[in-house]
Chain A
Amino acid sequence: MAGNNQPFDFDDELLSAYLDDELAAEERARVEQRLAEDLRAKQLLEELRAVSQAMKSVPSATVGSDLRDSILRRAERAMLVPGEQSPAGGLGGVAKRIPFGRSKRAWIWAGMALAAGLMLMFFEREPERNQGLPDAVAKRDDTSQDEALFDRRSLAEERGEAEVDKLAAARPAAPASAPALAAAPAGAPASASASASAPLATVAADRGNSRLGGVGGSMAAAEDKAAEPSDAAQRLLVRVNVKPEALQNRTFDEVLERNQIEIEQPAESKSDREALAEVPQEPQDVDVLLLEAAPAQIASTLADLKADHANYLGIEVEDEGAGSQGTIANERTGYDFQQYSRGFVPLQQKVEVAPNFNYYYEAEQGPNRADRKLGRELEFAQQRSNDDRPRGLIRNRALRLKPQPTAQSGSESGSLAYKLRDQSAATAARPSAAAPAAGRFFGGTQMDLAHRAKQKLVAEAETLEVLFVLTAGPEQPANPPAAAKAVASPTAGEGLKNDDR
C-alpha cells in the first residue's frame, strides 16, 4: 500500500480507526475535535459506522458439523506418515518427512492416538513411488472402497457411540484418542477407564523420551540399511480393537507366529519399568509392535485377524492416507488390504459362510479356528521344508515397543535389538505358501489368492514395515447382548462421519 492518490487526507483514516477505538489518546482527541467542527468528517464517520454495522449484522456462518473426527484422523495420518500432505499441499516440506521415526511426538502420538485401535503402517520401498503415480493408480476399486467405507462407518459409529457413552469429563476426540478404550468397560468399573488414560499418557510420554526415540533411530537405521535410493513411504492404517483377554494373552503374537513373524521383546530400561510400575495393576490396554514383513504375510495376518471374531473386535484398514494415491498399497503389492476391515462382530457372532448363509455362534473362538490349527501345522511343515531357499531377501521381524507387564523381557542391553528371522524369499513369491490357511472359509483370502495370481508378483526384496498398536476393545461383558447393542448402535456417531468423504 504505497501512499497513492487518495482523495482523503490522513485524518480520514483516523476516523476509521477512531470508530474501532484503535487510537492513542492524543489522536483520539484530535479526531474528536475535528468531528466537532467539521460536518463532512462527521458525515463520513457516520457512513463508516454504517458500513461497519452492516457488516456486523450479517449472520455468522457455521460449519454445520463437528469437524473433530475428520480433522483428527487426518492429523493422525499426517503425524505418522512420512510424506503425508494435506490435500491442499499445505504441509509442504515441513511435514514431509516429519514424524515417523524422527519425531518424538509422533511416537507418543502413535501410542496414544491408537489407543482406539491397532495400526499398521506399511513402508514400502519402491523407488518409483516417489515420482508420482500414474492416474490409473489413483482410481480406486469402487467395490472394495464401498465395502471399506461401510466398515469404516460402522467403526465410526461405534466410536460415536463410545463418545456418547463417555461423559463430558474427558471428551475423547473421536478417532484418535481412546474413545473405545474409555468406553470399554461397559459394565466394568468406571475407574478403569477414567484412570487408565492418564497413566498411559505418562508411560507414553516417558517412552517418547527414552525408548521410542531409540526406536526411531533404529527405524531410521533400518531405512538406511535398506539402502534404497528413495524409500517413499507406503502406508496403510489399520485399527483393531482387541478383546482385553486376548490382549493379555497375547493372542496377537500367535497370529504373528502363525504368519512366520517372530517377536522380539525389547530390552526394558529401568525408567520404563518404573513407568510401567506406576501404572497400577491395570491390565495393559495398549500393545505396540513394529514389524517388517512381506506383503503376503501382512495380508495373511490381517486375514487371520479378520477371521477371528472372538478376539479381534473390530478392524479398520485405512488406505486413504495418501489421498488420491490411496490404494497404491493395493496396486503395488497386489493386495487389497482394505478388504480386511470389518466392524465389530459382537458376541452374538455372525459369519457369512456363503452368500445368504450366515452362521451365528457365541463361542470364544470362531468356527474356523479349530480347522485352521490343522491347516497351520501343514503350513508350517511346508514352510520348514522350504527353509533351504535363498535367505535374506524377505525379512520378517517384529519388535514389541511397549512391553506388557507379563513380558519376560530379554537382555538388559538397553538398546533395541531386532531379532531377525530371515525368511525365504519365496514367502512373497509363492502365494500358496505365504498365505496360511487363515480365513480359508471366508472369501477374503481366497479372493486374495486369486487376485495375487493375476498380479505380477511382488518384487522379492520388497518388505513392508508395519506398526501394530493393539488396544483393548470393549470388555467382555457379563451381559453380552446389552453391551453388544451399545457398541454397535448404528445411529449414533453418524454426524461425526458425515464429512469424511
Chain B
Amino acid sequence: MSDHASRDDSAVADATLIDRTLAGEPAAFGELVLRYQDRLYNSLVRVLGSAEDARDAVQDAFVQAFVKLESFRGSSAFYTWLYRIAFNQAMSHARRKRPTRSLDLERTDRGREPVDGQPAPDARLNERERATQVHRALAELSAEYRQVIVLREMDGCKYEEIAEMLELPVGTVRSRLFRARLELRDRLASVVKDEVTRAVEDRC
C-alpha cells in the first residue's frame, strides 16, 4: 500500500522532529501534530463515535505524548505510540462514561483512498448512504471489534501495528478482525451484495 510507503519515509522525519522537540523546539512537535492529527482523528471518530470526543481525545493524546515524549523509545513508530496513548486514554475515559452510540457523520467530507475503478453511481448505493450504513454497522460492533476493523480498514494498519497499538497478540488481532468482518457482513448485507456484484462486474 502506497500509504505505508510514505509513512515509512516519514518515520525518519518523525524521529528528527522528536529529537528537536526534546531539544526544546516545540515547533517540531507542532509538525508532528499537523502530520498526524487528521489520521488520528479519523480513527478515533470511528471508534468513539463522536466528533467531539474524538477531537478531545486527539488533543489529549498529543498533550500526553508531548509530556511523555522522553519515554518514547523509537522502537515503534511514533504514530503507533501516539495511538496507544490515545487508545488507553479513551479506554479509561470510556469507563467513566456511557458508551456513545450515535455516530457523528459530520466532517466526513474528504475522500481518502479512492476505490479502484470508480463506478458509475447509477443503481448502486451512493457514497453517502453507504457511509451512513457503515457507520451504523460499526457502532453496533463491540468496541474491541470496532478498534481492529477501524485500524485495519480505515487507517490501513498492518496486523503487527494494530497489535502494538492495542497491546494484543497478533493472533488476537487476526481473529478479531475476521469476526468483525463477519459481523459487518451480516449487518451490511445490502452493501456487501452491492460490492460483490460490482466486483463481479468489474471482472467481466
Interface residues, chain A, with chain B CB atoms under 8 Å away: 1, 6, 8, 12-13, 15-17, 20, 22, 46-64, 66-68, 70-72, 74-76, 78-79, 86-91, 94-95, 98-99, 105, 108-109, 111-113, 170-174, 176-177, 197, 201, 204-205, 208, 499
* 6 additional contacts (CB under 8 A) given A87-B56, A90-B64: A20-B152, A50-B196, A58-B134, A59-B111, A79-B66, A112-B24
The answer to whether residues A105 and B70 also contact, given A62-B38, A63-B58, A66-B34 and a CB cut-off of 8 A, is yes
User: Which residues of the other chain, A, contact B85 by a CB distance below 8 angstroms?
Assistant: 90
- Decide: A75 near B89, CB < 8 A? Known: A50-B195, A55-B153, A59-B108: no
Contact flag A68-B34 (CB < 8 Å), given A20-B177, A58-B134, A58-B135: yes
Return chain A residues, CB-CB under 8 Å to B60.
86-88, 90
Main secondary structure of the interface of A (DSSP, over half): helix
Contacts of A8 in B (CB 8 A): 178, 182
| Distance of A47 Cα from B194 Cα, bound (Å) | 10
Closest B residue, CB atoms, query A16: B178
A-B contact pairs, 12 of them (CB 8 A): A50-B193, A54-B191, A55-B154, A60-B112, A61-B110, A62-B41, A70-B59, A98-B67, A109-B24, A109-B26, A170-B27, A172-B30
Tell yes or no: B7 within 8 A of A by CB. no
Report Cα–Cα, A54/B196, bound state, in Å: 10
Tell me the complex Cα distance, A102–B70, Å. 14
State whether A204 touches B24 (Cβ < 8 A): yes
Are A59's CB and B59's CB within 8 A? no
Q: B27 touching A75 by the CB < 8 A rule?
A: no
The residue in B158, B181, B182 that gathers the most chain A C-beta atoms within 10 A of its C-beta is B181
**Contact (Cβ within 8 A) A54 B45:** no
For residue A203, which residue of chain B has the nearest CB?
Answer: B24
- Cβ distance B140 to chain A, nearest Cβ, rounded Å: 14
Q: B84 contacts the other chain (Cβ, under 8 Å)?
A: no
**Pairwise interchain contact A91-B149, C-beta atoms closer than 8 A:** no
Closest chain B CB from A322 CB (angstroms): 14
> Which of B26, B31, B51, B185 makes the CB contact (< 8 A) with A75?
B26
Closest to B70 in A: A105
- Does B73 sit within 8 A of A, measured CB to CB? no
B154 touches A67 (CB 8 A): no
B26–A76 touching, CB < 8 Å = yes
Residues of A near B54 (CB, < 8 A) are: 61
Please tell me if the beta carbons of B67 and A79 are within 8 angstroms of each other in the complex: yes
Interface-centre pick from A16, A90, A205 (highest chain B CB count, 10 A) = A90
Give every chain A residue within 8 A of B92 (Cβ-Cβ): 88-90
Chain B, Cβ-Cβ closest to A182: B27
**Interface contact B66-A51, CB-CB below 8 Å:** no
A499 to B112 Cα, complex, angstroms? 24
Residue B172 at the chain A interface, CB threshold 8 Å: yes
Name the CB-closest residue of B to A176: B26
Q: Return the contact of B64 from the options A13, A68, A86, A109 (Cβ within 8 A).
A: A86
Write out the residue numbers on chain B whose beta carbons fall within 8 Å of the beta carbon of A63.
Answer: 37-38, 41, 55, 58, 107
Q: Is residue B79 contacting chain A, with contact meaning CB distance below 8 A?
A: no
Which residue from B70, B111, B127, B158 sits with its C-beta under 8 Å from A60? B111
Q: How far is the CB of B126 from chain A (nearest CB, A)?
A: 11
B199–A50 CB distance below 8 A: yes
Nearest Cβ on chain B to A471's Cβ, whole angstroms: 14
The yes or no answer to B23 lying at the interface (CB within 8 A) is yes
Task: Chain B residues near A88: list those with CB within 8 A.
Answer: 56-57, 60, 89, 92-93
B26 and A47 contacting across the interface, CB-CB below 8 Å? no
Q: Are B42 and A54 in contact (CB under 8 A)?
A: no
Flag if A62 contacts B130 (CB, 8 Å).
no
Residues of A within 8 Å of B66, CB to CB, are 71-72, 75, 78-79
In the assembled complex, the CB of A232 is this many whole angstroms from the nearest CB of chain B, namely: 19
Known: A47-B185, A57-B130, A87-B60. A95 touches B34 (CB 8 A): no
Of chain A, the residue at the smallest CB distance from B86 is A90
A59–B45 CA distance with the chains assembled, in angstroms: 12
Given A13-B175, A75-B67, A98-B67, residue A112 in contact with residue B26 (CB < 8 A): yes
Residue ID in chain A nearest B39 by CB atoms = A60
Q: Decide if A58 touches B130 in the complex (CB within 8 Å).
A: yes
Q: Which of A50, A55, A205 has the most CB of B within 10 A?
A: A55
Q: Within 8 Å CB of A74, what residues of B? A: 59, 63
Cβ-defined contact, B27 with A91, below 8 A: no
CB < 8 Å neighbour of B59 from A17, A71, A112: A71
Query: Do the beta carbons of B176 and A60 come within 8 Å of each other?
Result: no
10 smallest CB-CB distances across A and B, nearest first, come from A173-B30, A50-B195, A55-B153, A176-B26, A60-B112, A173-B27, A75-B66, A16-B178, A112-B24, A108-B24
Q: Is B98 an interface residue (CB 8 A)?
A: no
**CB <8 Å contact, B184 and A51:** yes
Give the docked Cα–Cα distance between A17 and B176 (Å): 11
Given A47-B185, A48-B181, A54-B192, check contact A13 B59 (CB 8 Å): no
CB < 8 Å neighbour of B159 from A20, A105, A177: A20
Question: By the criterion CB–CB under 8 Å, are B63 and A86 in contact?
Answer: yes
